[in-house]
Chain A
């Protein structure tokens, strides 16, 4: 952001300085020097086969990938999003990169290359089992900070370690890398993979289906409440690599699982592609809570470098009374193209979407959700808060669809945008389709700067301007922050404190 940007009243200088700072202060920008094992650049059927064989995949999986690749070659890159980026050369990307030390998969975290562990430590990732394994008394019961979280860490193309597998196994929960799941639990993978996001879904999802290298797999058996939060950390490290991970979560009848996802990447002046697919399946009475803190490298303040984050996330509330909740804090990536969605198929199923998207400098975010109501008595709620600063463009794009059979359904959508500075943009593109009259759909959207009346009210009660702005902005995204699970609330609040609370207050 240029320093001479005119600043409006009500957004004080400090705020703006703080925002500027964020632009230059990406704290995960370092890279780890690890010997990597690369596949040749570019994508073709050989690369697809290679990725498949690296993961020791059975024949059906290889065929599935090849089918997807065949399809992808015939597709066109979507252009409808309000984002603008130079054409991606898909043949100039490494589709597979793995730390050399991972040639033999580690049995436990102890076997993991210490450099990797260091990497995750640097990221501040709660590989908390270290603490527990080290015998720290009361670690399990420690509040927030010390709560147990099982972690699957994905480094470039491969999963480097999944923790707490034993304890989870006792509860019957399967939590492993997707490559392991393909080998160990083919019946589950065959049944659910691609059932929510079909291979043909969209350009990036199809590409992912062909070349995904790893990702996480979760299966929670009927009636089980997953004993701990599950978590994946994604890290793009190698240069010119695309990251294509695939996550599949199945919550069987009456089960519950909370899943956290975090991502970072080094600072580089070339763009990197991240095209993930996340599929959630919730059967009868099951509940899945999926939280993301997306902090990929956003590029510098001139828009050089950064991650292209083109992600397809979708949940299928297949069973009656199932529930899925998406929560996201999006602060990173140069370009974001992401619409976590819910197909509310089961009667009385529920979908929720809470999002904070912060775009600063030259970032472009086109994000939102789709709520497709198919079952009777289904409910959805969308709360989206977009904040633009610098020269960033932030778009909310959403769909709420009430099918004729989705009687007595209900949707409430609220999307608010806040602009800081006169060079940025905030856009709202909702689609609303109501095809029965017993359903109620409400959509509200506002765009504003910090409200003067609210500021005046606070000032009148003795707060100084800075405090007042902080309070008002805090209020602006509290709805979403509160929806985050404890584990992430800390990290998210920190992020928001830097890029958002700081930005306006």
Chain B
């Protein structure tokens, strides 16, 4: 079907500035395929139902909106965690700052190296999970990423990995426009934790595809922020086998425009998928969590927990969907999205959806929005806690349900500290 005129000229203009990276047989085919998909769907516009709460202009424009680089002496967030470091600067792999990529039970390769080979295991993942995630809702920015990703990392996990893999994204140029694409393949019974952090670039488009085989476990914790002016569109696509586990948590602190999409497909029985997020933002902050969970197997569990604290006119968006296909009996689907509005200018927009075609299921979603509970505040103040401290305490308590989703206590502690930092900066202003 032909695109509407406006979308056609939009995509033509965007594509005129981009060139397909060269590579071997498998990667060239995947990129060409993604480009076809992208041409067919065009780029998102505000009128698209899937973008009704978030204006995609900053994410689709030809030039990345400039973003100041935050200068801080703060140590990178996961510095104290013993992990294998992989560093990208403005979207380009930096071997000098990264650790040696060898580690037991895991094979790590740079995308640009692997892409030049003709045969690679990533062929079955790269662009494949992304393409599956294009239906029933189109995700053009992910197709754009598959076609034009300039760098990324391919991780093949064969067993239990002894320490987390830490992807660090440094931001050094005010106009950087980074497109990264990672693929992670977990063999049966494999177990890995992947950390991600850093502002990455002025504009960041990232796709991570994760194939979790039977009995494997994938843990993912990321922080985004805290450069205020950056914008990002990220996608995670994952497919889960029998009795496998997928757990992902994201902390977002500031940023003008962030759209995090997570597309989960439970294809094996008894699989578990948890995705959680905490976001704190003020001012021009616009943060969008869009989640799509498909249950296509028996007795699976999915959980979505999203909390947002908003102030000074910040906007929080949540679009979450649980799709239970016919035959996906005994599904346990849970979804909660909540926002705490610290002042009258901030807003929360949500669309929590259920689409269910099986009868023996327990699915629920809840969504609330409101200010800090006056009674709770009064209770704390009557016990001598100063007002601002009481507010912080209640804010942290509000975020706790999402933070509880992180299994690793050390990592959770690091994030909590980061949140405390945000709260104290807020007190100072």
Contact = CB atoms under 8 A, between A and B. Distances in A.
Interface string B341-372: 11111111111111111111111111111110
Contacts of B5: none
Contacts of A422: 326-327, 329, 358-360
A440 B366 CA distance: 13
Nearest to A438: B371
B339 interface: yes
Nearest to B368: A442
Interface in B64-102: none
B349 A432 contact: yes
Contacts of A438: 344, 371
Interface stretch (A119-127, A134-142, A443-451): A443-451
Interface residues on B, range: 35 or more
A432 B344 contact: no
Interface string B317-335: 0000000001101000000
Nearest to B52: A431
B356 A447 contact: yes
A94 B345 CA distance: 52
B367 A433 contact: no
A438 B345 CA distance: 10
A432 B350 contact: yes
Given A8-B359, A449-B359, A449-B360, A441 B353 contact: no
Contacts of A424: 357, 359
A438 B363 CA distance: 30
Contacts of B351: 429-432
Contacts of A437: 341-344, 346, 370-371
A176 interface: no
Given A434-B349, A437-B346, A445-B365, A426 B341 contact: no
B49 interface: yes
A425 B348 CA distance: 29
Contact of A448 (B348, B353, B357, B363): B363
B327 A426 contact: no
A139 to B, nearest CB: 47
A428 interface: yes
A377 interface: no
B43 to A, nearest CB: 21
A190 to B, nearest CB: 35
B264 to A, nearest CB: 18
Contact of B363 (A407, A435, A441, A447): A447
A80 interface: yes
A417 B345 CA distance: 35
Contacts of B341: 434, 436-437
Contacts of A425: 355-357
Interface string A332-349: 000000000000000000
Nearest to B352: A430
A8 to B, nearest CB: 5
A216 to B, nearest CB: 35
A423 interface: yes
A420 interface: yes
B354 A436 contact: no
Given A404-B344, A422-B326, A447-B354, A8 B370 contact: no
Contact of B368 (A8, A417, A421, A441): A441
Nearest to A427: B355
A421 B354 contact: no
A427 B356 contact: yes
Contacts, number: 120
Contacts of B371: 437-438, 440
A230 B172 CA distance: 71
Contacts of A419: 356, 358-359, 361
A439 interface: yes
Contacts of A8: 359-360
B370 to A, nearest CB: 4
B313 to A, nearest CB: 10
A445 B350 CA distance: 14
A59 to B, nearest CB: 38
Given A440-B368, A440-B370, A433 B347 contact: yes
A231 to B, nearest CB: 35
B329 to A, nearest CB: 7
A437 B368 CA distance: 11
Contacts of B326: 422-423
Contact of B352 (A435, A443, A448): A443
A432 B335 CA distance: 15
Contacts of B329: 422
Nearest to B335: A445
Contacts of B350: 430-433, 443
Given A404-B344, A423-B326, A425-B355, A432 B367 contact: yes
A425 B350 CA distance: 22
Nearest to A82: B355
Given A433-B347, A434-B347, A440 B369 contact: yes
A446 B363 contact: yes
Nearest to B315: A435
A363 to B, nearest CB: 15
Nearest to B357: A425
Nearest to A437: B341
Contact of B359 (A404, A421, A436, A441): A421
Interface in B198-245: none
Contacts of B370: 437, 439-441
Interface string A71-83: 0000000001010
B353 A428 contact: yes
Contacts of A447: 354, 356, 361-364
A424 B327 CA distance: 11
Contacts of A427: 353-356
B359 A432 contact: no
A444 B366 CA distance: 4
B366 A426 contact: no
Contacts of A82: 355
A480 B66 CA distance: 54
Contact of B354 (A433, A439, A441, A445): A445
Contacts of A435: 347
A479 B107 CA distance: 58
Given A427-B354, A437-B371, A446 B364 contact: yes
A420 B359 contact: yes
B364 A444 contact: yes
Most B CB contacts (10 A, CB to CB) among A431, A434, A445 go to: A434
Contacts of B366: 442-445
Interface string A470-497: 0000000000000000000000000000
Contacts of A423: 326
Contacts of A439: 369-370
B344 A436 contact: yes
Contacts of A448: 361-363
A177 to B, nearest CB: 39
Contacts of A430: 350-353, 367
Nearest to B364: A446
A237 B146 CA distance: 58
A443 B360 CA distance: 23
Contacts of A440: 368-371
A29 B167 CA distance: 67
Contact of A434 (B355, B357, B369): B369
A8 B345 CA distance: 49
B44 to A, nearest CB: 17
Report, nearest first, the 10 A-B pairs whose CB atoms are least far apart.
Answer: A437-B341, A419-B359, A440-B370, A428-B354, A434-B369, A432-B350, A443-B367, A446-B364, A435-B347, A437-B371
6 contacts: A423-B326, A432-B350, A432-B352, A433-B347, A440-B368, A447-B363
Given A427-B354, A436-B344, 12 more contacts: A8-B359, A425-B357, A426-B356, A431-B349, A434-B341, A437-B346, A438-B344, A445-B364, A446-B364, A447-B363, A448-B362, A449-B359
